[in-house]
């Protein structure tokens, strides 16, 4: 049986990627390290802030020490908070799905974004308390596609709900990027991918791909999950 559902954040709950891109460029352009939206989509999407800055510096052949990296992350986080202050719009169907799962099975959030980025948006959408577990970039040493974040999410769910027999093989991840799918697969989860950020042909590592979460509920997810076994 489907024991738990784990949602990615950026690209699944809200279309924050253009907002993250804008915040990155506010920090990087003055340093001569800016890059195009096409480069962001093809190369940087899926990285957490830490690895995205490391990659931008590496691509330019410039060194980046720990102190400067921390400063860059803080500047980007502040820029992101300013950008989202005017409000964000969730992807169609996702808030309804999240609310429909309450009482049916535990749900978690597994994101490469910082907790400070995620919190204000969850509050805007009134779903802060919907997630039994939240794993963010602040809590892991390696970003997606490494499986660490999903491994931690499953571990915390299992600890919080010991009677439910939660294990990776009984959890369904909802993702939108190849890096996210690889992370979930690497942790032993089945993946439902949504074409919010990439076309279906780029999401082939997921066992099921849908165009939208509109109209999907717990029963529908259960059907997808069992079709993947």
pLDDT of residue 108 exceeding 70? yes
Instruction: Dump pLDDT digits (tens) for 138-179.
Output: 999 888 999 999 999 999 999 999 999 999 999 999 999 999
Q: Checking DSSP bridges between strand 107-110 and strand 171-175, what pairing results, if any?
A: unpaired
The predicted pLDDT at position 184 comes to: 97
pLDDT of amino acid 215: 94
- Of the listed ranges 31-35, 45-49, 81-85, the least confidently predicted one is 45-49
Of 90, 95, 116, 46, nearest to 217 by C-alpha is: 95
Q: Please say whether the beta carbons of 46 and 179 come within 8 A.
A: yes
Q: How far apart are CA 166 and CA 140, in angstroms?
A: 21
Q: What is the reported pLDDT for 227?
A: 79
pLDDT at 39 over 80: yes
Which of 171, 116, 44, 81 has its CA nearest to residue 35?
44
């Amino acid at each position: 049986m489907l024991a738990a559902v784990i949602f990615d954040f950026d690209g699944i709950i809200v279309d924050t990627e253009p907002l993250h891109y804008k915040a990155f460029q506010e920090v990087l352009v003055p340093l001569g390290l800016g890059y195009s939206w096409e480069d962001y989509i093809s190369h940087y999407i899926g990285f957490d802030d830490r690895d995205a800055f490391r990659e931008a510096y590496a691509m330019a052949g410039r060194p980046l020490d720990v102190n400067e990296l921390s400063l860059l992350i803080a500047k980007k986080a502040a820029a992101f908070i300013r950008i989202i202050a005017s409000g964000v719009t969730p992807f169609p169907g996702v808030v309804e799905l999240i609310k429909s799962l309450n009482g049916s099975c535990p749900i978690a959030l597994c994101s490469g974004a910082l907790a400070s980025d995620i919190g204000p948006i969850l509050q805007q959408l009134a779903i802060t308390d919907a997630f039994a577990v939240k794993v963010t970039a602040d809590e892991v040493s390696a970003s997606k596609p490494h499986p660490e974040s999903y491994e931690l999410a499953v571990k915390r769910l299992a600890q919080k709900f010991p009677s439910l027999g939660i294990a990776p093989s009984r959890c369904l991840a909802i993702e939108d990027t190849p890096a996210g799918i690889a992370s979930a697969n690497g942790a032993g989860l089945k993946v439902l991918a949504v074409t919010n950020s990439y076309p279906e042909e780029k999401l082939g590592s997921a066992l099921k791909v849908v165009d939208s979460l509109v109209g999907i509920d717990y029963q529908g997810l259960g059907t997808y999950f069992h079709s993947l076994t």
